[in-house]
Amino acid sequence: MKNSMTAQQLVKTFTKNEKKNKKTDINAVDGISLSVSAGEIVGILGANGAGKTTLLRMMSKLMNPTSGTVQIKINDEEITDTIEIKRHIGYLSNNTKLYGRFSTRELLQMLAAVYGLEKAQADQKIASICQILSMEEFIDNRIEKLSTGQTQRASISRCLIHDPQIYIFDEPTLGLDILSSAAIIEFMKRERDAGKIILYSTHYMEEAEFLCDRLVLLNHGKIISEGTPESLKEYTGEKSMRDVFSRLVIREGAANEH
């Protein structure tokens, strides 16, 4: 495995204005270490506010950690330049919206230029992405006119244009119908099999169980448990991931109280 992504002791502190005149520092991410290697899908599970989005933003270099490091290796070579790292990452979240006044094709052409692709190369790439995500019928429509599922497919296509080695997806299937989310899950599997690094977060336990090679459970900015879906089930003695999750989070909460 030549490519890898490793986070060490990541901490992100936000200062929040709680009530009037009172400021408190909150560690949204509190000392997380995590490693993902090529050909692996790692799922981040956690309740709302567990720190998933902040963690993924730091992993994709959108945000700087308060302390700790993220190390990206491509072909065994560590990349340190933030701009260069971004060339290897396809990042998608609910906050990465698309330019509504553009068509998907125009958007992809613009992005191809940003990533430094030649025109002919870009057109070829766009044609193949269009086919993979079956976007033929709407690729020339303005994005603001697309349905939710179509928009999400357009979003995925955005992450594909530069053929990144690492995908970081924050709740990519949120609010999608079965068909659309199935297409996205298929896509992630295919990319994993092609040897890409995939780190993604979700609320859907069944989806995570079925898709991920490894799961990381977050609560209050800390990892409370991690392992393969099977090992987690074994560890808790529960049969479904949903119960595994509830049990671990509740146990963590109880442990904190003591």
Partner 1 sequence: MNIKMIKILLKKELLDVFRDKKTVIMMLVIPVILYPAIFIGALQVSAAISSRMEEQIYKIAADTKNDDAFYSRLLLENNAADDSCHLEITDANDITDYKTALENGDIDAFITGTKKDGKMCYDIYYLSSEANSEHAKGIILEIFDEYSKELTEEKLEALGLDSHAILAPVSYEEQDTASSEQSLGSILGSILPFMLVISLLMGTMYPAIDTTAGERERGTLETMLTLPVTNRELIVSKFLTVASIGIISAFLNILSMSGIAFYMYQIVDMQIDLQKFDATKFLPAILVGILAVLAFSLLISAVTMCVTSFARSYKEANNYITPLMLVIMLTGYIGFIPNVELTPTMAMAPVANICLLIKNMLVFKIDYMTVAIVLLSNIAYAVFAILFLSRIYDSESILFGDAKSGFQLFEKRSNLKKGGVPTMSDVWLVIALTIVLIIYAGSMLQLKFGLAGVLGTQIILLSVPLFLVVYTKKDIVQTYGFEKTGVSGYIGGIFLAVGMFLLNIVLSNWAAELFPESAANVTDTFSELMDGNFIFVLFVIAAAPTVCEEMLFRGLIFHSMKARYRVSTAMVCTAVIFGIYHMSLVKLPATSLLGFILCYAVWMTDSIYPAMMMHFINNALSVILSMYGDKFANTVFYKDELMLSDILLLAGAGLICLTIGSVVLTKTRKSEPRNRTGL
Residues interacting with partner 1, by CB under 8 A? Answer: 14, 17, 21, 23, 57, 60, 62-64, 83-84, 86-87, 89-91, 93, 95-102, 106, 110-111, 113-115, 158
CB of 145 to partner 1, least distance (A): 13
Please give the Cα distance from 90 to 5 (Å, whole number). 13
- Which of 86/203 has CB closer to partner 1? 86
Q: What are phi and psi of 18, to 5 degrees?
A: -95, 130
The answer to whether the beta carbons of residues 115 and 83 sit under 8 Å apart is: no
- Which of 158/192 has CB closer to partner 1? 158
CB of 87 to partner 1, least distance (A): 5
Q: Using CB atoms within 10 A of its CB, is residue 238 exposed (0-12), middle (13-18) or buried (19+)?
A: middle
Q: What are phi and psi of 212, to 5 degrees?
A: -90, 145
CB of 220 to partner 1, least distance (A): 19
- Which of 158/214 has CB closer to partner 1? 158
- Which of 23/258 has CB closer to partner 1? 23
Q: What is the side-by-side order of every strand in the sheet holding 77-79?
A: 22-37, 4-18, 67-74, 77-79
Task: Classify 166 in phi/psi space as left (phi over 0), alpha (psi -120 to 50) or beta.
Answer: beta
CB of 79 to partner 1, least distance (A): 11
Please give the Cα distance from 72 to 77 (Å, whole number). 8
The dihedral built from the CA positions of residue 182, 188, 192 and 198, taken in this order, carries a sign that is: negative
CB of 83 to partner 1, least distance (A): 5
CB of 97 to partner 1, least distance (A): 3
The dihedral built from the CA positions of residue 233, 6, 161 and 97, taken in this order, carries a sign that is: positive
CB of 199 to partner 1, least distance (A): 14
Please give the Cα distance from 193 to 183 (Å, whole number). 15
Structure tokens at 77: 């070579």
- Which of 19/239 has CB closer to partner 1? 19
- Which of 4/155 has CB closer to partner 1? 155
- Which of 62/217 has CB closer to partner 1? 62
